[in-house]
């Protein structure tokens, strides 16, 4: 099982958690912790073998310990896979990559739906067989109705995590608030960076020497959500804008895949406007 927690820092947290698990016959397999001395918040992730311990009893008994430390915590059996919805637009490289990684077992999740603002014919070269596909077109005039249909679908499918796989629509403040801590976006720049249309062309015009991508949680502030993962790649004066786009696609794929996998493995904990990521 995987236990994650955050709480105001004070002496004895690790000892209390370890003793709690020991007294119930649980064996700790991996433990990571971080004390943010700027905010005074303590973070911890523990993977343990519960042996014969009853899962529901463990949760109930840990509740009492958690209250004593004012903890925000989760306790999950990895066999209980997260339910993930993937949103896409015309650019489908991230969609194709996530579906492929899911099919080979690299991303342990249940895909509840593929949602796109383009018709299914747009993705004929992506293997979406067996996956529910929903075409939800959107215009400025229909944005409210489209988001209402999207939110209804999220609720009906019991979706836990929403992934914007280069979904080129800005979520409204209302929907972003409903999905707080549950919606991951891939941004086609190393944030903060070049915003607006054709970011790689802007970067090329400025003669940049690295390009990158950022995966972050979605908030009402556009591209300002807590960052989960980033990566960069060096370029040179020989690279054309088309070269930057090609290299950028590769960065976006791997950054989004890593961010999603870490979220599926309960490695990402919110820390105000930032995240604590217990990487593997």
Residues 90-106 pLDDT 10s: 999 999 999 999 999 99
* pLDDT reported for residue 194: 64
* pLDDT reported for residue 223: 73
* pLDDT reported for residue 3: 98
| Three-class secondary structure of residue 192 per DSSP | coil
What is the mean pLDDT of the segment spanning 240-256? 95
Q: For residue 86, give the nearest of 226, 255, 256 by alpha carbon.
A: 256
Q: Which positions ≥6 away from 165 have C-beta within 8 Å?
A: 86, 87, 88, 92, 94, 95, 98, 186, 256
76-85, 175-184, 194-203, range with the lowest pLDDT: 194-203
Q: What is the dihedral of CA 263, 265, 267, 273, to 10 degrees?
A: 20
| Three-class secondary structure of residue 28 per DSSP | strand
Active site residues: 223
pLDDT-based confidence at 191, cuts 50/70/90? low
Summarize pLDDT for 223-243 with one digit per residue, the tens.
788 889 999 999 999 999 999
């Amino acid at each position: 099982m995987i236990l994650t927690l955050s709480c105001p820092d004070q002496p004895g947290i690790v000892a209390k958690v370890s003793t709690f698990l020991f007294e119930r016959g649980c064996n700790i397999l991996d433990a990571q912790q971080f004390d943010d001395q700027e905010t005074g918040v303590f973070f911890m992730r523990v993977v343990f073998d519960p042996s014969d311990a009853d899962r529901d009893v463990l949760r109930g008994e840990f509740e009492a310990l958690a209250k004593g430390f004012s903890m925000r915590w989760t306790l999950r059996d990895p066999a209980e896979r997260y339910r993930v919805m993937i949103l896409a637009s015309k650019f489908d490289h991230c969609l194709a990559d996530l579906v492929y990684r899911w099919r080979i077992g690299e991303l342990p999740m249940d895909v509840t739906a593929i949602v796109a603002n383009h018709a299914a014919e747009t993705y004929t070269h992506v293997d979406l067989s067996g996956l529910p596909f929903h075409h939800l077109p959107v215009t400025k005039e229909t944005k409210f109705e489209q988001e209402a249909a999207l939110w209804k679908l999220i609720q009906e499918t019991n979706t836990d995590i929403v992934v914007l796989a280069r979904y080129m629509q800005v979520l409204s403040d209302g929907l972003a608030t409903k999905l707080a801590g549950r919606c991951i976006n891939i941004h086609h720049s190393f944030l903060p960076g070049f915003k607006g249309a054709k970011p790689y062309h802007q970067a090329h015009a400025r003669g940049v020497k690295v390009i990158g991508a950022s995966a972050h949680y979605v908030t009402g502030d556009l591209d300002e959500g807590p960052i989960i993962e980033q990566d960069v790649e060096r370029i040179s004066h020989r690279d054309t804008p088309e070269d930057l786009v090609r290299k950028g696609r590769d960065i976006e794929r791997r950054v989004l895949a890593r961010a999603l996998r870490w979220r599926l493995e309960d490695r990402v904990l919110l820390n105000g406007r930032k995240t604590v990521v217990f990487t593997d």
